[in-house]
Structure formats: structure tokens, C-alpha cells
């Protein structure tokens, strides 16, 4: 009887080990299959939300009689308004008539200027239609005009990391939302 008990215990242990190893193998296979079938999640780029206000009263006051633009009168007015609100003249030394031009938030201002130049070149090279460029530059200018007084440290840091006008434009157009 002792032999029977030992033999049955041995069979039980072998069966238990086989069942456990089969379970572990199926778990490994399931993890391996799920790793292959689930797409790797790429981190979504951050979105920036800023408060916006209707600026039509400021645009109506802008005089662009001597300033024309390839993209039209509205873009010329918005560019002039951008220059008016982002730049100012500062006296270098009191009594000296020389002044220096100071730019508020130079990262944003220079990015907008770079996007404008890039869009002008792409239209001239027929890489992009004039209408598409107007829509894109209009959105960029709306964002830039409305975020002057907002907290934009993260946005400016993201702009400084981007190279090329298209990447900067995508940051303005796709990742920024104006809340009216």
C-alpha cells in the first residue's frame, strides 16, 4: 500500500507540474500575442488653450494704406496689429533721439514672422495654394494676437524646440485652441 500511495503521489505531482507549466506557457503566449496586436501608444502632443477676444475693433483702427500684402488686406491688417502690440520703441539714453526696438515675447513674434516667410515661399514655389496659406496664416495671427497677455511659457518652450516653419505652424494651428 505504501508503494501505491507513493506512486499516486508521484502521478499527482507530475500532473500538477504539467498543468502549471501549460498554464504558464499559455499566459506567456497571451502576453506575447497581445503585445503584437495592441498598437504602441505614442504620446499625444500637448494642446494649449488660450482665452480669445474679438479684435475686430482693433483691426478697423489699423491703417495699412501704404502696406500691401500678397495674402490680402485682412492679413496685412493683422500683421500690422501684431507689430503694433508686440513691439515698441524705447529710448536708449534720455536726451538722445535714438531709440531701440523692443519685442515682447520674441519667441512667438519671430515664429510668426518665420511662418509668414515660409508660407510666402511655398506659395511662390506653387507648393501650396494662396487660399490655404491665407487660412493658415490667419489662424497663426489670431493665436499670436490673442496670447500676448496670456501665460505662454510652455508654449514658447515648445516653439523653441521646433525647427522649420511647418512644425511651428502646426503648433499654432493644430495644437492651440482659442476659447472665445
pLDDT of residue 120: 96
Crossing angle for the helix pair 153-161 and 165-173, nearest 10 degrees?
A: 150
75 by DSSP, 3-state: which? helix
pLDDT of residue 49: 95
pLDDT of residue 93: 86
| Element (DSSP H or E) covering residue 48 | strand 48-51
Cell numbers describing residue 66: 501704404
Non-local CB neighbours of 98 within 8 Å, separated by 6+ positions: 91, 92
Spans in the chain with pLDDT lower than 50: 33-35, 37
| Chain center to CA of 119 | 18
Q: Tell whether the torsion through CA atoms of 131, 133, 134 and 140 is positive or negative.
A: positive
pLDDT of residue 153: 95
pLDDT of residue 97: 85
Q: Parallel, antiparallel, or unpaired for β 87-91 and 99-103?
A: antiparallel
Q: Parallel, antiparallel, or unpaired for β 176-179 and 87-91?
A: unpaired
Bridge partner list, 142: none
CA distance 28 to 50: 47
The domain spans of the chain are: 1-42, 48-179
CA distance 38 to 8: 44
Amino acid at each position: 500500500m505504501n508503494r501505491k500511495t507513493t506512486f499516486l503521489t508521484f502521478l499527482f505531482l507530475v500532473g500538477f507540474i504539467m498543468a502549471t507549466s501549460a498554464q504558464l506557457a499559455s499566459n506567456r503566449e497571451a502576453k506575447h500575442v497581445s503585445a503584437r496586436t495592441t498598437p504602441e501608444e505614442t504620446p499625444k502632443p500637448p494642446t494649449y488653450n488660450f482665452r480669445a477676444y474679438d479684435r475686430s475693433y482693433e483691426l478697423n483702427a489699423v491703417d495699412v494704406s501704404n502696406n500691401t500684402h500678397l495674402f490680402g488686406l485682412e492679413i496685412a491688417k493683422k500683421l500690422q496689429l501684431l507689430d503694433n502690440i508686440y513691439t515698441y520703441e524705447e529710448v536708449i539714453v534720455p536726451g538722445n533721439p535714438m531709440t531701440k526696438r523692443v519685442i515682447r515675447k520674441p519667441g512667438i513674434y519671430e515664429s510668426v514672422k518665420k511662418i509668414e516667410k515660409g508660407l510666402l515661399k511655398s506659395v511662390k514655389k506653387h507648393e501650396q495654394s494662396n487660399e490655404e496659406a491665407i487660412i493658415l496664416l490667419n489662424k497663426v495671427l489670431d493665436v499670436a494676437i490673442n496670447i500676448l497677455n496670456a501665460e505662454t511659457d510652455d508654449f514658447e518652450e515648445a516653439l523653441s524646440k521646433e525647427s522649420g516653419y511647418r512644425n511651428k505652424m502646426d503648433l499654432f494651428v493644430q495644437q492651440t485652441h482659442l476659447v472665445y
